[in-house]
Structure 1
Protein backbone atom coordinates (compact mmCIF):
# COMPACT_ATOMS: atom_id res chain seq x y z
CA UNK A 1 0.00 0.00 0.00
CA UNK A 2 1.38 3.43 -0.95
CA UNK A 3 1.94 6.23 1.53
CA UNK A 4 -0.95 8.16 -0.02
CA UNK A 5 -3.29 5.19 0.30
CA UNK A 6 -2.17 4.58 3.89
CA UNK A 7 -2.86 8.21 4.73
CA UNK A 8 -6.33 8.06 3.18
CA UNK A 9 -7.07 4.97 5.22
CA UNK A 10 -5.70 6.65 8.35
CA UNK A 11 -7.80 9.77 7.76
CA UNK A 12 -10.99 7.72 7.45
CA UNK A 13 -10.38 5.91 10.74
CA UNK A 14 -8.66 8.54 12.88
CA UNK A 15 -10.44 10.75 15.36
CA UNK A 16 -9.57 14.43 15.13
CA UNK A 17 -6.59 14.19 12.78
CA UNK A 18 -4.66 16.43 15.19
CA UNK A 19 -1.24 14.99 14.33
CA UNK A 20 -1.89 15.43 10.62
CA UNK A 21 -3.05 19.01 11.21
CA UNK A 22 0.00 19.77 13.36
CA UNK A 23 2.35 18.55 10.65
CA UNK A 24 0.60 20.60 7.98
CA UNK A 25 0.76 23.60 10.31
CA UNK A 26 4.51 23.04 10.70
CA UNK A 27 4.83 23.16 6.91
CA UNK A 28 2.73 26.31 6.58
CA UNK A 29 5.77 28.50 5.99
CA UNK A 30 6.02 27.03 2.50
CA UNK A 31 2.31 27.29 1.70
CA UNK A 32 0.64 30.00 -0.33
CA UNK A 33 -2.31 29.67 2.00
CA UNK A 34 -2.90 27.59 5.07
CA UNK A 35 -5.72 25.04 4.80
CA UNK A 36 -8.57 25.77 7.17
CA UNK A 37 -11.01 22.93 6.62
CA UNK A 38 -10.15 19.31 7.42
CA UNK A 39 -10.76 18.35 3.79
CA UNK A 40 -8.16 20.88 2.62
CA UNK A 41 -5.71 19.68 5.25
CA UNK A 42 -6.14 16.11 4.01
CA UNK A 43 -5.52 17.24 0.41
CA UNK A 44 -2.29 19.00 1.38
CA UNK A 45 -1.22 15.92 3.33
CA UNK A 46 -1.83 13.73 0.26
CA UNK A 47 0.26 16.10 -1.87
CA UNK A 48 3.15 15.95 0.60
CA UNK A 49 2.87 12.15 0.79
CA UNK A 50 2.87 11.96 -3.00
CA UNK A 51 5.89 14.24 -3.21
CA UNK A 52 7.77 12.04 -0.72
CA UNK A 53 7.07 8.87 -2.70
CA UNK A 54 8.01 10.46 -6.02
CA UNK A 55 11.27 11.87 -4.67
CA UNK A 56 12.37 8.33 -3.82
CA UNK A 57 11.17 7.01 -7.18
CA UNK A 58 12.26 9.66 -9.70
CA UNK A 59 14.36 12.19 -7.76
CA UNK A 60 14.00 15.95 -7.49
CA UNK A 61 15.11 16.77 -11.05
CA UNK A 62 12.32 14.71 -12.64
CA UNK A 63 9.71 15.65 -10.06
CA UNK A 64 6.87 17.81 -11.41
CA UNK A 65 3.72 19.31 -9.96
CA UNK A 66 1.74 17.26 -12.50
CA UNK A 67 3.23 14.04 -11.15
CA UNK A 68 2.42 15.16 -7.61
CA UNK A 69 -1.19 15.98 -8.55
CA UNK A 70 -1.67 12.65 -10.32
CA UNK A 71 -0.20 10.61 -7.46
CA UNK A 72 -2.20 12.53 -4.84
CA UNK A 73 -5.37 12.20 -6.95
CA UNK A 74 -6.04 15.94 -6.92
CA UNK A 75 -6.49 18.50 -9.70
CA UNK A 76 -3.33 20.37 -10.70
CA UNK A 77 -5.14 23.55 -9.65
CA UNK A 78 -5.28 22.20 -6.10
CA UNK A 79 -1.48 21.97 -6.04
CA UNK A 80 -1.12 25.60 -7.15
CA UNK A 81 -3.81 26.67 -4.71
CA UNK A 82 -1.39 25.83 -1.90
CA UNK A 83 2.07 25.73 -3.50
CA UNK A 84 3.86 28.04 -5.91
CA UNK A 85 5.99 25.32 -7.52
CA UNK A 86 7.59 21.94 -6.85
CA UNK A 87 10.30 23.55 -4.72
CA UNK A 88 7.61 24.87 -2.39
CA UNK A 89 6.15 21.37 -2.05
CA UNK A 90 9.58 19.95 -1.20
CA UNK A 91 10.16 22.79 1.26
CA UNK A 92 6.89 21.97 3.01
CA UNK A 93 7.89 18.30 3.05
CA UNK A 94 11.23 19.22 4.63
CA UNK A 95 9.41 21.17 7.34
CA UNK A 96 7.12 18.21 7.94
CA UNK A 97 10.14 15.91 8.15
CA UNK A 98 11.60 18.22 10.78
CA UNK A 99 8.37 18.04 12.77
CA UNK A 100 8.19 14.24 12.46
CA UNK A 101 11.82 14.02 13.58
CA UNK A 102 11.20 16.02 16.76
CA UNK A 103 7.91 14.25 17.51
CA UNK A 104 9.68 10.89 17.36
CA UNK A 105 12.65 12.27 19.28
CA UNK A 106 10.37 13.45 22.09
CA UNK A 107 8.80 9.98 22.28
CA UNK A 108 12.18 8.24 22.51
CA UNK A 109 13.51 10.73 25.06
CA UNK A 110 10.49 9.95 27.26
CA UNK A 111 11.11 6.22 26.83
CA UNK A 112 14.88 6.21 27.39
CA UNK A 113 15.17 9.02 29.94
CA UNK A 114 18.70 10.21 29.08
CA UNK A 115 20.84 10.96 32.13
CA UNK A 116 23.07 13.56 30.42
CA UNK A 117 22.56 16.04 27.59
CA UNK A 118 25.05 14.29 25.31
CA UNK A 119 22.94 11.13 25.66
CA UNK A 120 20.07 13.13 24.16
CA UNK A 121 22.27 13.96 21.18
CA UNK A 122 22.97 10.23 20.87
CA UNK A 123 19.22 9.55 20.76
CA UNK A 124 18.87 12.24 18.09
CA UNK A 125 21.46 10.44 15.94
CA UNK A 126 19.51 7.17 16.33
CA UNK A 127 16.33 8.95 15.23
CA UNK A 128 18.08 10.58 12.26
CA UNK A 129 19.21 7.13 11.13
CA UNK A 130 15.69 5.75 11.62
CA UNK A 131 14.25 8.57 9.46
CA UNK A 132 16.48 7.46 6.57
CA UNK A 133 15.05 3.95 6.84
CA UNK A 134 11.37 4.66 7.43
CA UNK A 135 10.31 8.12 6.28
CA UNK A 136 9.47 8.35 2.55
CA UNK A 137 11.43 11.03 0.71
CA UNK A 138 13.82 11.66 3.59
CA UNK A 139 16.87 9.81 2.34
CA UNK A 140 16.51 11.64 -0.98
CA UNK A 141 16.32 15.20 0.35
CA UNK A 142 17.01 14.88 4.11
CA UNK A 143 15.69 18.21 5.42
CA UNK A 144 15.87 19.65 1.91
CA UNK A 145 19.65 19.59 1.35
CA UNK A 146 19.33 17.98 -2.08
CA UNK A 147 17.34 21.00 -3.26
CA UNK A 148 18.85 23.90 -1.31
CA UNK A 149 20.90 23.98 1.90
CA UNK A 150 18.78 27.00 2.91
CA UNK A 151 15.45 25.36 2.09
CA UNK A 152 13.97 25.48 5.61
CA UNK A 153 15.08 29.05 6.32
CA UNK A 154 16.40 31.55 3.81
CA UNK A 155 18.84 33.01 6.36
CA UNK A 156 20.23 29.75 7.83
CA UNK A 157 21.32 26.36 6.55
CA UNK A 158 19.04 23.38 7.12
CA UNK A 159 21.56 21.92 9.58
CA UNK A 160 21.68 25.24 11.46
CA UNK A 161 17.89 25.03 11.87
CA UNK A 162 18.27 21.46 13.15
CA UNK A 163 21.09 22.45 15.51
CA UNK A 164 19.06 25.32 16.95
CA UNK A 165 16.07 23.05 17.62
CA UNK A 166 18.32 20.47 19.32
CA UNK A 167 19.90 23.16 21.50
CA UNK A 168 16.44 24.35 22.58
CA UNK A 169 15.48 20.76 23.36
CA UNK A 170 18.61 20.34 25.47
CA UNK A 171 17.77 23.47 27.45
CA UNK A 172 14.18 22.28 27.92
CA UNK A 173 15.24 18.92 29.36
CA UNK A 174 18.50 19.80 31.12
CA UNK A 175 18.27 23.56 31.69
CA UNK A 176 21.78 24.01 30.33
CA UNK A 177 21.30 27.56 29.04
CA UNK A 178 23.90 28.56 26.44
CA UNK A 179 27.34 27.70 27.86
CA UNK A 180 30.36 29.02 26.00
CA UNK A 181 31.22 26.86 23.00
CA UNK A 182 28.00 24.81 22.98
CA UNK A 183 26.80 26.32 19.69
CA UNK A 184 30.06 25.38 18.01
CA UNK A 185 30.12 21.90 19.57
CA UNK A 186 26.59 21.10 18.43
CA UNK A 187 27.25 22.51 14.96
CA UNK A 188 30.31 20.27 14.57
CA UNK A 189 28.40 17.27 15.94
CA UNK A 190 25.40 17.77 13.61
CA UNK A 191 27.50 18.45 10.50
CA UNK A 192 29.80 15.47 11.17
CA UNK A 193 26.95 13.08 11.94
CA UNK A 194 25.04 14.27 8.87
CA UNK A 195 28.00 13.69 6.53
CA UNK A 196 28.85 10.25 7.92
CA UNK A 197 25.24 9.03 7.97
CA UNK A 198 24.72 10.15 4.38
CA UNK A 199 27.89 8.25 3.42
CA UNK A 200 26.62 5.14 5.22
CA UNK A 201 23.37 5.21 3.21
CA UNK A 202 25.21 5.79 -0.04
CA UNK A 203 27.25 2.66 0.62
CA UNK A 204 24.29 0.55 1.72
CA UNK A 205 20.56 1.23 1.13
CA UNK A 206 19.90 0.17 4.72
CA UNK A 207 22.87 2.12 6.08
CA UNK A 208 26.33 0.56 6.43
CA UNK A 209 26.18 -0.69 10.06
CA UNK A 210 29.93 -0.42 10.66
CA UNK A 211 30.01 3.17 9.40
CA UNK A 212 26.92 4.13 11.39
CA UNK A 213 28.48 2.69 14.55
CA UNK A 214 31.68 4.61 13.83
CA UNK A 215 29.70 7.83 13.33
CA UNK A 216 28.04 7.44 16.73
CA UNK A 217 31.39 6.68 18.38
CA UNK A 218 33.04 9.74 16.83
CA UNK A 219 30.25 12.07 17.97
CA UNK A 220 30.17 10.58 21.47
CA UNK A 221 33.95 10.96 21.84
CA UNK A 222 33.88 14.51 20.49
CA UNK A 223 31.11 15.63 22.84
CA UNK A 224 32.87 13.94 25.77
CA UNK A 225 35.97 16.01 24.92
CA UNK A 226 33.87 19.18 24.85
CA UNK A 227 32.44 18.38 28.28
CA UNK A 228 35.92 17.69 29.71
CA UNK A 229 37.33 20.90 28.25
CA UNK A 230 34.40 22.88 29.63
CA UNK A 231 34.73 21.39 33.10
CA UNK A 232 38.52 21.75 33.30
Structure 2
Protein backbone atom coordinates (compact mmCIF):
# COMPACT_ATOMS: atom_id res chain seq x y z
CA UNK A 1 0.00 0.00 0.00
CA UNK A 2 2.85 2.39 0.72
CA UNK A 3 4.32 1.81 -2.74
CA UNK A 4 0.92 2.54 -4.28
CA UNK A 5 0.66 5.68 -2.15
CA UNK A 6 4.06 6.89 -3.40
CA UNK A 7 3.02 6.43 -7.02
CA UNK A 8 -0.29 8.21 -6.51
CA UNK A 9 1.07 11.30 -4.78
CA UNK A 10 3.40 11.83 -7.73
CA UNK A 11 0.43 11.57 -10.08
CA UNK A 12 -2.32 13.46 -8.23
CA UNK A 13 -0.56 15.18 -5.31
CA UNK A 14 -1.45 14.88 -1.66
CA UNK A 15 -4.70 16.80 -2.08
CA UNK A 16 -5.84 14.44 -4.82
CA UNK A 17 -4.98 11.30 -2.87
CA UNK A 18 -7.93 9.36 -1.44
CA UNK A 19 -8.22 6.05 0.34
CA UNK A 20 -10.45 4.83 -2.50
CA UNK A 21 -7.77 5.60 -5.08
CA UNK A 22 -5.20 3.91 -2.90
CA UNK A 23 -7.28 0.76 -2.54
CA UNK A 24 -7.78 0.61 -6.30
CA UNK A 25 -4.09 1.10 -7.06
CA UNK A 26 -2.98 -1.41 -4.42
CA UNK A 27 -5.69 -3.83 -5.56
CA UNK A 28 -7.05 -4.33 -2.06
CA UNK A 29 -10.45 -3.85 -0.49
CA UNK A 30 -11.10 -0.43 1.03
CA UNK A 31 -11.61 -2.19 4.36
CA UNK A 32 -8.04 -3.45 4.21
CA UNK A 33 -6.81 0.13 3.95
CA UNK A 34 -8.75 1.20 7.03
CA UNK A 35 -7.56 -1.87 8.88
CA UNK A 36 -4.09 -0.33 8.92
CA UNK A 37 -4.65 3.41 8.39
CA UNK A 38 -7.49 5.63 9.67
CA UNK A 39 -7.02 8.23 6.94
CA UNK A 40 -4.73 9.35 4.13
CA UNK A 41 -2.61 11.43 6.51
CA UNK A 42 -1.68 8.29 8.43
CA UNK A 43 -0.76 6.54 5.19
CA UNK A 44 1.49 9.38 4.09
CA UNK A 45 3.02 9.57 7.56
CA UNK A 46 3.96 5.88 7.35
CA UNK A 47 5.40 6.42 3.87
CA UNK A 48 7.42 9.41 5.05
CA UNK A 49 8.84 7.51 8.03
CA UNK A 50 9.85 4.72 5.67
CA UNK A 51 11.49 7.25 3.38
CA UNK A 52 13.43 8.80 6.26
CA UNK A 53 14.69 5.35 7.27
CA UNK A 54 15.75 4.73 3.67
CA UNK A 55 17.59 8.06 3.64
CA UNK A 56 19.49 7.22 6.81
CA UNK A 57 20.42 3.80 5.41
CA UNK A 58 21.74 5.52 2.29
CA UNK A 59 23.85 7.82 4.46
CA UNK A 60 25.22 4.91 6.48
CA UNK A 61 26.22 3.14 3.26
CA UNK A 62 27.73 6.31 1.80
CA UNK A 63 29.70 7.07 4.96
CA UNK A 64 30.99 3.50 5.11
CA UNK A 65 32.19 3.40 1.52
CA UNK A 66 33.30 6.94 0.68
CA UNK A 67 36.65 8.45 1.61
CA UNK A 68 35.21 11.37 3.54
CA UNK A 69 37.93 13.39 5.25
CA UNK A 70 36.00 15.97 7.28
CA UNK A 71 32.52 16.13 8.76
CA UNK A 72 31.39 18.80 6.32
CA UNK A 73 32.17 16.30 3.55
CA UNK A 74 29.56 14.15 5.23
CA UNK A 75 27.02 16.96 5.00
CA UNK A 76 27.89 17.34 1.31
CA UNK A 77 27.26 13.62 0.83
CA UNK A 78 23.95 13.95 2.66
CA UNK A 79 22.89 16.67 0.21
CA UNK A 80 23.88 14.44 -2.72
CA UNK A 81 21.71 11.62 -1.40
CA UNK A 82 18.80 14.02 -0.84
CA UNK A 83 19.05 15.14 -4.48
CA UNK A 84 19.29 11.55 -5.71
CA UNK A 85 16.15 10.62 -3.80
CA UNK A 86 14.27 13.49 -5.44
CA UNK A 87 15.16 11.95 -8.79
CA UNK A 88 14.68 8.27 -8.05
CA UNK A 89 12.33 7.63 -5.11
CA UNK A 90 8.60 7.65 -5.98
CA UNK A 91 6.65 10.19 -3.96
CA UNK A 92 9.68 11.93 -2.49
CA UNK A 93 9.70 14.86 -4.88
CA UNK A 94 6.10 15.58 -3.87
CA UNK A 95 6.16 14.81 -0.16
CA UNK A 96 9.82 15.43 0.76
CA UNK A 97 9.93 14.61 4.47
CA UNK A 98 6.26 15.38 5.05
CA UNK A 99 6.11 19.18 5.11
CA UNK A 100 3.52 19.17 2.32
CA UNK A 101 1.18 17.47 4.77
CA UNK A 102 2.26 18.75 8.18
CA UNK A 103 5.43 20.49 9.38
CA UNK A 104 5.34 18.14 12.37
CA UNK A 105 4.52 14.93 10.51
CA UNK A 106 7.64 13.08 11.73
CA UNK A 107 7.52 14.29 15.34
CA UNK A 108 4.91 16.27 17.24
CA UNK A 109 7.60 18.16 19.16
CA UNK A 110 9.99 18.95 16.31
CA UNK A 111 9.43 20.20 12.78
CA UNK A 112 10.37 17.79 10.01
CA UNK A 113 13.65 19.45 9.05
CA UNK A 114 14.61 19.60 12.72
CA UNK A 115 14.16 15.82 12.91
CA UNK A 116 16.35 15.38 9.83
CA UNK A 117 19.01 17.67 11.36
CA UNK A 118 18.96 15.59 14.55
CA UNK A 119 19.38 12.37 12.58
CA UNK A 120 22.17 13.90 10.52
CA UNK A 121 23.91 14.93 13.75
CA UNK A 122 23.68 11.33 14.92
CA UNK A 123 25.29 9.82 11.82
CA UNK A 124 27.97 12.53 11.72
CA UNK A 125 28.96 11.97 15.34
CA UNK A 126 29.15 8.23 14.72
CA UNK A 127 31.23 8.61 11.56
CA UNK A 128 33.52 11.50 12.49
CA UNK A 129 33.61 11.37 16.29
CA UNK A 130 32.09 14.81 16.76
CA UNK A 131 30.85 15.79 20.19
CA UNK A 132 27.09 16.04 19.82
CA UNK A 133 25.50 19.11 21.39
CA UNK A 134 23.12 22.03 20.87
CA UNK A 135 25.58 24.01 18.74
CA UNK A 136 26.16 21.20 16.24
CA UNK A 137 22.42 20.60 15.94
CA UNK A 138 21.78 24.32 15.49
CA UNK A 139 24.36 24.54 12.69
CA UNK A 140 22.95 21.46 10.96
CA UNK A 141 19.37 22.69 11.26
CA UNK A 142 20.34 25.91 9.46
CA UNK A 143 22.14 23.88 6.79
CA UNK A 144 19.19 21.51 6.32
CA UNK A 145 16.67 24.36 6.03
CA UNK A 146 18.79 26.23 3.47
CA UNK A 147 19.56 23.13 1.40
CA UNK A 148 15.93 22.00 1.46
CA UNK A 149 14.65 25.35 0.19
CA UNK A 150 17.18 25.55 -2.65
CA UNK A 151 16.73 21.93 -3.72
CA UNK A 152 12.97 22.46 -3.90
CA UNK A 153 13.62 25.52 -6.06
CA UNK A 154 15.85 23.47 -8.37
CA UNK A 155 13.14 20.87 -8.90
CA UNK A 156 10.48 23.49 -9.45
CA UNK A 157 12.61 24.98 -12.22
CA UNK A 158 13.39 21.69 -13.96
CA UNK A 159 11.89 18.20 -13.54
CA UNK A 160 15.30 16.62 -12.88
CA UNK A 161 16.60 19.58 -10.89
CA UNK A 162 18.30 22.70 -12.21
CA UNK A 163 22.01 21.85 -11.93
CA UNK A 164 22.97 25.50 -11.55
CA UNK A 165 20.74 25.88 -8.50
CA UNK A 166 21.91 22.56 -7.06
CA UNK A 167 25.56 23.55 -7.48
CA UNK A 168 24.89 26.88 -5.76
CA UNK A 169 23.07 25.10 -2.93
CA UNK A 170 26.04 22.83 -2.25
CA UNK A 171 28.50 25.72 -2.46
CA UNK A 172 26.41 27.83 -0.09
CA UNK A 173 26.17 25.07 2.53
CA UNK A 174 29.86 24.22 2.23
CA UNK A 175 30.80 27.87 2.72
CA UNK A 176 28.45 28.18 5.70
CA UNK A 177 29.94 25.12 7.42
CA UNK A 178 33.51 26.27 6.82
CA UNK A 179 32.58 29.66 8.25
CA UNK A 180 31.32 28.02 11.44
CA UNK A 181 34.64 26.22 11.88
CA UNK A 182 36.56 29.44 11.23
CA UNK A 183 34.39 31.36 13.71
CA UNK A 184 35.04 28.69 16.33
CA UNK A 185 38.80 28.87 15.69
CA UNK A 186 38.62 32.60 16.43
CA UNK A 187 37.22 31.92 19.90
CA UNK A 188 34.42 30.14 21.78
CA UNK A 189 30.92 31.14 20.72
CA UNK A 190 27.90 31.28 23.00
CA UNK A 191 25.33 28.54 22.64
CA UNK A 192 22.45 29.75 20.46
CA UNK A 193 19.02 29.95 22.01
CA UNK A 194 16.01 28.83 19.97
CA UNK A 195 15.57 31.34 17.18
CA UNK A 196 18.97 32.93 17.82
CA UNK A 197 20.99 33.35 14.63
CA UNK A 198 24.29 33.92 16.40
CA UNK A 199 25.53 30.52 15.20
CA UNK A 200 25.86 31.82 11.64
CA UNK A 201 28.32 34.59 12.44
CA UNK A 202 31.80 34.47 11.01
CA UNK A 203 34.08 35.77 8.32
CA UNK A 204 34.29 34.56 4.70
CA UNK A 205 34.64 31.01 3.50
CA UNK A 206 37.63 28.89 4.37
CA UNK A 207 38.17 26.41 1.59
CA UNK A 208 41.56 24.99 2.51
CA UNK A 209 40.29 22.73 5.34
CA UNK A 210 41.03 22.45 9.06
CA UNK A 211 42.31 19.82 11.40
CA UNK A 212 39.81 17.29 12.72
CA UNK A 213 40.14 18.71 16.22
CA UNK A 214 39.00 22.13 15.03
CA UNK A 215 35.98 20.60 13.31
CA UNK A 216 35.03 18.67 16.41
CA UNK A 217 35.39 21.81 18.53
CA UNK A 218 32.43 23.39 16.75
CA UNK A 219 30.20 21.00 18.62
CA UNK A 220 32.35 20.38 21.68
CA UNK A 221 31.69 23.66 23.46
CA UNK A 222 28.34 22.29 24.60
CA UNK A 223 29.24 18.62 24.61
In 1, Cα distance between the equivalents of 2:172 and 2:130? 23
Aligned residue in 1 for 2:196: none
Aligned to 2:60, the other structure's residue is in SS state helix
Instruction: Give the paired residue count.
Output: 186
The structural deviation recorded for 1:89 is 0.3
In 1, Cα distance between the equivalents of 2:132 and 2:5? 38
Question: Of 145, 149, 153, which residue of structure 1 is paired with 2:99?
Answer: 145
Matched, 1:175 2:175: no
In 1, Cα distance between the equivalents of 2:155 and 2:83? 9
Matched, 1:162 2:116: yes
Distance of aligned partners of 1:147 and 1:223 in 2 relative to their CA distance in 1, 3 Å threshold: same
Higher-helix-fraction structure: 1
Question: Of 13, 31, 34, which residue of structure 2 is paired with 1:80?
Answer: 34
Aligned to 2:28, the other structure's residue is in SS state coil
Aligned to 2:110, the other structure's residue is in SS state coil
In 1, Cα distance between the equivalents of 2:6 and 2:134? 39
Alignment of 1:177-196 (within 5 A): 177-178=131-132, 181-196=135-150
Aligned residue in 2 for 1:69: 23
Distance of aligned partners of 1:179 and 1:87 in 2 relative to their CA distance in 1, 3 Å threshold: closer
The structural deviation recorded for 1:166 is 0.4
The structural deviation recorded for 1:179 is 5.1
In 1, Cα distance between the equivalents of 2:183 and 2:147? 21
In 2, Cα distance between the equivalents of 1:175 and 1:112? 16
Matched, 1:90 2:55: no
Aligned residue in 2 for 1:125: 79
The structural deviation recorded for 1:174 is 1.5
RMSD of the alignment, in Å? 1.0
In 2, Cα distance between the equivalents of 1:83 and 1:180? 36
Distance of aligned partners of 1:180 and 1:66 in 2 relative to their CA distance in 1, 3 Å threshold: closer
Aligned to 1:181, the other structure's residue is in SS state helix
Aligned residue in 1 for 2:69: 115
In 1, Cα distance between the equivalents of 2:76 and 2:4? 31
Matched, 1:231 2:185: yes
Aligned to 2:61, the other structure's residue is in SS state helix
The structural deviation recorded for 1:180 is 6.0
In 1, Cα distance between the equivalents of 2:135 and 2:31? 49
The structural deviation recorded for 1:113 is 2.7
Distance of aligned partners of 1:194 and 1:67 in 2 relative to their CA distance in 1, 3 Å threshold: same
In 1, Cα distance between the equivalents of 2:132 and 2:122? 9
The structural deviation recorded for 1:231 is 2.1
Alignment TM-score, normalising by the size of structure 2: 0.81
Aligned to 2:154, the other structure's residue is in SS state helix
Could you list the structure 1 runs, at least 4 aligned residues long, displaced by more than 3 angstroms after superposition. none
